[in-house]
Amino acid sequence: MRPAHDYAQRGGLRQVWRCAQRTNDRNNLLTLSFSSSKMQSLSSSYAATVSVPRHSFPLSRGTLAPSNLCFCGLRRQAFAPASLHRLHSRRRSHFSAVSAALSDNGTAPKSFDYDLLIIGAGVGGHGAALHAVEKGLKTAIVEGDVVGGTCVNRGCVPSKALLAVSGRMRELRNDHHLKSLGLQVSAAGYDRQAVADHANNLASKIRGNLTNSMKALGVDILTGFGTILGPQKVKVGSSNNVVTAKDIIIATGSVPFVPKGIEVDGKTVITSDHALKLEIVPDWIAIVGSGYIGLEFSDVYTALGSEVTFVEALDQLMPGFDPEISKLAQRVLINPRNIDYHTGVFASKITPARDGKPVTIELIDAKTKEHKDTLEVDAALIATGRAPFTQGLGLENIDVVTQRGFVPVDERLRVTDSNGNLVPHLYCIGDANGKMMLAHAASAQGISVVEQVTGRDHVLNHLSIPAACFTHPEISMVGLTEPQAREKGEKEEFEVSVAKTSFKANTKALAENEGEGLAKLIYRPDNGEILGVHIFGLHAADLIHEASNAIALGTRIQLFNIDENLSSHVNFQHCSATPQDIKFAVHAHPTLSEVLDELFKSAKIMVWQDEVQAPQVPDTIKMVMQSSPVQLGSNFQVFM
């Protein structure tokens, strides 16, 4: 077969890459040239050498300077000349088609089996694998259990199926709500096994979707437990199957954490893994822990007719939420329902039901450790959080010591050894590193790592990652809580302000007769920076993303707020800072999104007056200012 470079003079870039597809000869060095009007082959003036699979274009000479152009991948920057911008636009669809058509998933260097090997096929590993294929890496993923990990099989996915049922049951059994809408419904009931099947079937469907998506893109799925034998070397399963890779990602996830003294039998004393199977709906169940997991299961069990008792070690329920939000949520989600609670106590010992005796729970004071009470219930759910699943990974072979089971990493998710030194070509994402134990955070971390191994520096801003609790109504949040923000403000010497808006002022919420809810904005009044947003109310989990994206993109509430006497001295005609002001975003009416619209509009940004030092300008605006002819009056300063 004719190698790809033989075609370079006979049809330009399109023919070259079509040939590369046919011959799989992408390791050949292609000499391509670019001019300000069109691309021509064999031009000595602007020669660029392309070496696959590193996907970068080191220019030997010439005036063009592409900073990060990639053939394989969606992220690329065009060259500076306008004609090349137009050429890039015309070629965009062809490049995407080529990337999607590479069924061999890239070609690994000869010294390695793969460019990237991922240990763990959960949501984090899956996200990393798909992005790696997009970037042209030859990729394999190792899974010792089932594809999808905790989220798909024992977490986010089946729990949302159960919560969908609990939400419908609440609506059908809320006579007052139905009558207010003019509806009459006879007594609602449910089939426990059918509900359980709904959750199981959903998990199976999503698991199949994830598996098929990786297979379709050419990701090799290696079955067996992955053990790191040394640098860039992993044993798969119990056999002597050793796989090498230039870069390795640990994405092994987590398992339910069960404190000492608690005996789990999987029937009457259960974890979330067991509860999702819904093998029983007990008359009375104690839930140990009132975080996300405990709250969601309390929603399910009470909707299906159970009484619930919370056992919480801290002095208040829902300790991980913003205090104001948790206070409102307790009034709506706890107090009116068949729920009672014990706070400030540990469940020091839990014994499953046996020989006709109920489940017994010994409670001790969290501070004094003195015995407080003994509960006898039909079942107990242990919802005390999750522990990283990192045992047996072979970390000792590369001198890595876990911290409470978590793999130590730096801000770029690179694994560090016992001396604090980076372990080359080894990364850890998701629950296993403990930075943020959420499925979508794991996926974002995986994508961030792939960006790094393909030559683009990337640091994930974890404060921009949202979280949600899918109760009825829902709770969502992003960024800092009010106490955290005030502590940060005191330490860094800036003022913190809070704005709030109620769902009772929202037309769509009132039309649904669901006006119970609150949105809360925590921000800096001096520069409009969004520090945190917390929402409790109808579809809060969907609403939070406008705020999380604003934080991720550095969008301010309102960057420039100029005193009238000062505005005449300032010319922002050429500065595109105004589009960064989320306060002026437009929302469709009537929608729930207007809750966020009113929230941002209610924020009070400081007026910049004469001879007052302006706050620091964010980097996104600073770049615009530095490249734009912004004119400032003599009495106005922008400190960069």
At residue 366, what are phi and psi to the nearest 5 degrees? -65, -25
589 is catalytic: yes
In whole angstroms, give the CA distance from residue 32 to residue 40: 7
- Residue 212: CA count within 13 A, CB half-sphere: 6
3-state secondary structure of 478: strand
8 A C-beta contact, residue 267 and residue 380: no
Strand ranges inside 344-405, DSSP E: 345-351, 359-365, 371-377, 379-382, 386-388
* C-beta of residue 330 within 8 angstroms of C-beta of residue 469: no
**What is the DSSP secondary structure assignment for residue 579, as one 8-state letter?**
G
Q: Cα 103 vs. chain centroid, distance in angstroms?
A: 28
- Check residue 105 and report its DSSP letter: -
Cα(453)–Cα(412) distance, integer angstroms: 11
Alpha-helical (H) ranges within 405-476 are: 439-453
Contact 114, 108 (CB under 8 A): yes
Cα 367 to its chain centre, rounded Å, is 35
The pairing of beta strand 379-382 with beta strand 371-377: unpaired
Indicate the DSSP class of residue 618.
P
In order of 142, 251, 567, 621, 622, the CA distances from 612 in angstroms are 58, 50, 14, 20, 19
CA distance 226 to 234: 6
* Catalytic-labelled residue, pool 371, 458, 574, 589: 589
* Inter-residue long-range contacts of 166-175, CB under 8 Å, 24+ positions, other chains counted: 166/299, 166/300, 166/302, 166/303, 166/304, 166/472, 167/303, 167/472, 169/303, 169/304, 170/303, 170/472, 173/303
Query: Is the Cβ–Cβ distance between 380 and 251 less than 8 Å?
Result: no
Residues tagged active-site: 589
